[in-house]
Amino acid sequence: MQQSINYRIIFHIDMNSFYASCEQANNKDLIGKPVVVAHNDVFRKSIILTASYEARKYGIKTTMMVRDAIKLCNDLIVIEPNFELYQHYSQVFFDYLRTISNKLEVTSIDEGYMDLTDVCQKVNALELANTIQQTLLNKYQLPCSIGIAPNKFLAKMASDMKKPLGITVLRKREIESLLWPLPIGSMYGVGKKTAPRLQEIGIHTIGDIHGVNHDKLREVVGKSMLEYLLNRSKGIDDSEVDYYSFDSVSSISNSHTFDYNLLNVKTMKDTLKVLNNSVSARLTSKNLVANTIGIQIKYGDFKLINRSKGLVQPINDSLEMWNIVEELFDEHYDWVSEVRLVGVFATRLSDESSDLKQISIFDDFDKLNKEEHVSNVLNKINEMYKNKIINIGINNKKGE
């Protein structure tokens, strides 16, 4: 009989260059080549969403403009985003992880935490991590990095230490030697806006947090962030792996964590559109409609807001949902702060067949007829090809 353990074993699994990896998995001719995912407009002013590691060797980074990236690599392959493809591979990724354990917290389209304390009483944690990594790579052509630690924060930091295809164990006794020498800007939770303010008072590494006056630090970052910095720099994180959050039948949600804190409103809205379409597609596939639509915004300082709108008539149509999502974003985003994560959620779900659409006397009947005609045409096309290959486009009214 194996002896039980009295500490947690948390995995953070993070896909490497996810969008680019999906394109390479879908088209073997792209493997080993410098690939970026971005809208390839005429003036090439679009922002790169993801760069493959082959492209990164040229100094090409996420959020760089396409035209600047091409100057660094003449052979750069620019691919239009295919979010249906990325959602497919995300589902493959998480479905595989659930064969190992249901204690899985999905944090974005390409990363999640697993509490494998029970599983690792029967199998070595490093051997399991290697199996996960090699299966995702060899069977699905999806590279990932894995961090193993006694809590979520340390697991997240560990997964960032070796990319691509790294496996890192970060124990509490190694915090001073492995965590403290890292630049303060690399600390999970410290954004581009906070890092310079910390550097101004002498905090250049994570270990420097313990060498400054805490009253002065509180003046710079506030009480809650002070507690966060002190606890996390000591490896303290009591947050649980929330493996119930995405399993509830009462809600459907999707979120995305940006590689960097963003101030670009267009990129935020483009991402929200993708998430909105994903949630709409999942509702439709399950024949569900939502009575509440909401958004989530996590700022660079880790302040998190959730805002939602209750509906008189439940919906699952992506265009109707987007009108609400954009309205919520325009109303509740502060328009000055950097954003780390955005999300879309639908709650108070019900069976679509039980909710007949009611038309108000204030509705535009011509517009309704046109939208219904377009939806019917798209549904027939998608049904013909046995796949949801076409979505209704959405025109930005603000933040262009």
- Write the CB contacts of 396 (distance below 8 Å, at least 6 apart in sequence): 266, 269
Average pLDDT over residues 256-267: 89
Same domain, 3 and 72: yes
Residue 237 has which token pair?
A: 């994180």
Average pLDDT value for the chain: 85
Is residue 390's pLDDT more than 80?
Answer: no
Determine the pLDDT at residue 56: 97
Residues 272, 312, single domain; the answer is yes
Among 81-85, 170-174, 264-268, 386-390, where is mean pLDDT lowest? 386-390
Tell me phi and psi for residue 263, to 5 degrees. Answer: -115, -5
Contact indicator for 343, 253 with CB cutoff of 8 Å: yes
Tokens 């070595």 belong to 124
Q: How many domains does the chain have?
A: 3
Residues 367 and 346 grouped into a single domain: yes
Do 220 and 121 belong together in one domain? no
Residue 315 has pLDDT above 50, yes or no: yes
**132, 147, 170: which is the final residue of a domain?**
170
Q: Is residue 395 part of a domain?
A: no
Q: Among 25-39, 145-159, 236-250, 339-353, where is mean pLDDT lowest?
A: 236-250
Position 362 scores a pLDDT of: 37
pLDDT at position 361: 35
Domain that holds residue 335: 251-384
**Per the domain annotation, does 393 fall within a domain?**
no
Residue 373 scores a pLDDT above 70: no
Same domain flag for 128 and 59: yes
Residue 128 placed within a domain:
yes
- Residue 107: the pLDDT is 77
Same domain, 202 and 79: no
If one compares 231 and 386, the residue with the highest pLDDT of the two is: 231
Q: Given 54, 111, 327, 383, which residue is catalytic?
A: 111
Q: Which amino acid is present at 363?
A: D
Among residues 140, 170, 200, which one ends one of the domains?
A: 170
Residue 228 maps to a domain: yes
Task: Read off the pLDDT of each residue in 177-182 and give the average, rounded to a whole number.
Answer: 97
Residue 20 neighbours by CB under 8 Å, 6+ apart? 35, 36, 37, 50, 51, 52, 55, 79
Question: What is the predicted pLDDT for the residue at 352?
Answer: 78
Question: Diameter of the chain by CA atoms?
Answer: 72
Among all chains, which residue has been given the structure tokens 């999970």?
Answer: 188
Q: Where are the alpha helices (DSSP H) in the chain?
A: 18-26, 53-56, 66-72, 83-98, 125-140, 152-159, 194-200, 214-221, 223-233, 265-285, 318-332, 365-384
* 78/217 same-domain check: no
Query: How does residue 375 score in pLDDT terms, banded at 50, 70 and 90?
Result: low
**Cβ-based neighbour number of residue 176 at 10 Å:** 15
Query: Is 210's pLDDT higher than 90?
Result: yes
pLDDT at 392 over 50: no
What integer is the mean pLDDT of 125-142?
97
Neighbours of 8 (CB within 10 A): 16
Among the ranges given (250-254, 349-353, 372-376), the one the predictor scored with the smallest mean pLDDT: 372-376
The reply to whether 99 and 9 lie within a common domain is: yes
| Average pLDDT of the segment spanning 326-330 | 91
For residue 189, the domain's CATH number is 1.10.150.20
Q: Do 12 and 98 share a domain, yes or no? A: yes
User: Quick one: average pLDDT of 231-235?
Assistant: 96
**Residue 379 confidence (pLDDT):** 54
Q: Can 111 be counted among the known catalytic residues? A: yes
Span 298-314, average pLDDT? 81
How do residues 80-125 score in pLDDT, each as one tens digit?
A: 988 789 888 988 999 999 999 999 988 777 899 999 999 999 999 9
| 371, two tokens | 């939208």
CATH of the domain at 267: 3.30.1490.100
**What percent of the chain is modeled with pLDDT above 70?**
84
State residue 24's pLDDT score: 97
pLDDT score recorded for residue 348:
78
Q: Is the pLDDT of residue 129 over 90?
A: yes
Is pTM beyond 0.75? Reply is: no
Cis omega (within 30 of 0) for bond into 164: yes
**pLDDT above 50: residue 74:** yes
Residue 400 lies in a domain: no
Torsions phi, psi for 135 (to 5 deg): -65, -45
Q: Is the pLDDT of residue 382 over 70?
A: no
Share of the chain above pLDDT 90, in %: 56
* Contact call for residues 145 and 172 (beta carbons, < 8 A): no
- Which of 170, 196, 221 terminates a domain? The answer is 170
Rounded Cα distance between 16 and 81, Å, is 16
Assess whether pLDDT exceeds 50 at residue 355.
Answer: no
Using CB atoms within 10 Å of the CB of residue 115, give its burial: 0 to 12 exposed, 13 to 18 middle, 19+ buried: buried
Tokens at 210, concatenated: 């313990």
- Asked whether residue 365 falls in the same domain as residue 230, the answer is no
Predicted confidence (pLDDT) at residue 340 exceeds the cutoff of 60 = yes
What is the average per-residue pLDDT within 11-35?
96
- Co-location of 134 and 40 in the same domain: yes
Shared-domain flag, residues 13 and 151: yes
| Average pLDDT value for residue range 330-337 | 86
Q: Is residue 179 part of a domain?
A: no
Does 176 reside within a domain? Answer: no
Residue 398: inside a domain, yes or no? no
Domain at 124, CATH number? 3.30.70.270
Q: Which of 262, 389, 240, 278 is nearest to 336 (CA)?
A: 262
